Structure 1
């Protein structure tokens, strides 16, 4: 960061104090990320003010750390959560070189990118309905020659993928409508509602994904989706009703639960 006579650079300690006063739990780490992202003292002051005002850190610095990767995350795009690493690990274990992997409701494309990184040579596709997410995912998937489509779930996918998808990851929203207001302000004020609201019981979008999965999955292919721990029974019933053989994976350390449906 360059210096400026007109705008003195705030000290790291002062930035930490401001962030901590604003409720940032990891104030020291966040302060360093903001310092690293700033090019001038004036820019640093602006970044700190944005964070104090409640903007997600990832939107301010332009990236999120996920599965050991740096994923580009633009303002207005869903920020990948650390608990979703379980979904990535399980999906990667079911894929292999040459597998067709589809990331539905992809947001930044973080899940698809992480799976492709772990597996290696996969044929990667992603879909999102939000224009900002589509633009972001295209940047993130470019290194993997991934294809990103704008639209609602399966609708924009090329017909040639029907019956050929080996791994279908769908990190769809699963927060019940009535609980959206209880989410942290960073999420409910700065991420798209369509990426958070899963309907009355939180599983509306998963039902739509499951209903179409058999048309797209290859024989022996898998659908994987993250759900809340209290939604497991209903989610398993949803997969069974869609003609898939269900199983469940969980990770207490990540506080994560994934339902898996096999065709």
Structure 2
């Protein structure tokens, strides 16, 4: 989503501490195998004061697996158990650590863990190339105190909507540049003039706000860029934790003779 495109770029703004989407742990819950957007084992390492399993120092194995392992958990009778730890997150022939050697048992009650976890369910709504930020149709949240489940909530994000204009950048590009009144645009010769427009989504299919993020000295071009973006008939709507989740995009509008020739009606 962040790659530069010559004519038009869409940049999703929300970021996390990771530059790459992370492979989650695994949670077995009521017969389902779910992704777990949390890593309860990290609290164990904090209390141990070193990141080792079986005296093996954990290191990142890929940009999607900075922690160097993938743990499998099972929630049974409101208690969280660690049942497996894989070396790395990807492998055709995975290796597993010896839990009995590390913990004294092959099924480990996670008494060290107090905190919240999230398990996504249903279809992926929007992938974000960072951390555990991706949005799914449903979210299960679990709160634990010393390994005991204290609260569990399911959120419905199914009212989220994906517009054709964010799904297909060609559609957005064509809409914007064919709706520009090129008769108002002076001859730019070999120059390119860019106006950066900020769009934010809300609870309606139209953008919640559209403003000029960075404009030109030529106010006519600024207003033309703003006018055209305001014509966009629909936009995305996102829900997270069952509530409207506001997102931001930056769209550069490029005035050039190349675009005039290609798109002017």
Report the TM range for the smaller structure's normalisation: under 0.3
| Structure with higher strand content | 2
Rg bigger for which structure? 2
| Structure with higher helix content | 1
Normalised by the length of structure 2, the TM-score is 0.23
